[in-house]
């Protein structure tokens, strides 16, 4: 089994992006990601995005290059990237997740999110992967 590449980024939502356009984009992304064996989630809060994408490294780098140049958002900052032996969200091709502060690690993930709003990268990859593992585990249980 080849390693899974994870990339987490934050960005600022373009003011022109409507809710319907965002819903359509998430649906299209889920379909496209399923065809390319990519999984992940998107959080939108207060005009900012946080997105996790995971899969084969070359596929994720190619996808992220397209994401970076997408005019529907700007101030794209990679918060964490790296490899592991397993996907964090193996059954989510692109899930829209609500940041529920009652869930484990939500407050910590919100801090990463806030740093993205301030255009500051999160510097501790191991810590953010721990936060993501706890958060995604709770989010997957909640959505089941």
Domain-wise residue ranges, the chain: 4-143
Helix, strand counts (H, E) of the chain: 4, 5
The mean-pLDDT minimum among 2-6, 37-41, 71-75, 122-126 falls in: 122-126
Distance, in Å, from the CA atom of 86 to the CA atom of 136, rounded to the nearest integer, reads 13
Residue 99: phi and psi, rounded to 5, are -80, 95
pLDDT at 119 over 70: no
Binned at pLDDT 50, 70 and 90, residue 122 comes out as low
4-143, which class in CATH?
alpha beta
Q: Pick the more confident residue, 39 or 48.
A: 39
- Classify each residue of 42-80 as buried b or exposed e, where b means 16 or more C-beta atoms within 10 Å of its C-beta: bbbeeebbbbbbbbebebbeebbeebeeeeebeebbebb
Q: For residue 12, what are the β-bridge partners? A: 48, 74
The residues facing 7 across adjacent strands are 53, 81
How do residues 50-59 score in pLDDT, each as one tens digit? 899 999 999 9
- Separation of alpha carbons 116 and 90, rounded Å: 25
Residue with tokens 């910590």: 108
For strands 39-45 and 4-13, give the pairing: unpaired
Q: Is the pLDDT of residue 140 over 60?
A: yes
Contact partners, residue 37, CB within 8 Å, separation at least 6? 55, 56, 59
Over its C-alpha atoms, the chain yields an Rg (Å, rounded) of 14
Provide mean pLDDT across the span 88-98. Answer: 91
pLDDT tens-digit map of 51-84? 999 999 999 999 999 999 998 898 898 888 889 8
């Amino acid at each position: 089994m080849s390693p899974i590449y994870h990339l987490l980024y934050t960005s600022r939502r373009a003011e022109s992006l409507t809710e319907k356009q965002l819903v359509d984009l998430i649906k299209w992304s889920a379909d496209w990601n399923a065809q390319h064996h990519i999984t992940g989630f998107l959080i939108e809060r207060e005009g900012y995005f946080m997105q996790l994408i995971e899969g084969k490294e070359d596929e994720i780098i190619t996808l992220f290059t397209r994401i970076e140049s997408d005019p529907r958002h700007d101030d794209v900052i990679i918060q964490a990237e790296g490899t592991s032996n397993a996907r964090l969200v193996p059954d989510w091709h692109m899930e829209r997740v609500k940041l529920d502060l009652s869930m484990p690690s939500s407050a910590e993930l919100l801090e990463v999110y806030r740093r993205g709003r301030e255009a500051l990268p999160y510097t501790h990859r191991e810590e953010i992967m721990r936060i993501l593992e706890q958060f995604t585990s709770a989010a997957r249980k909640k959505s089941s």
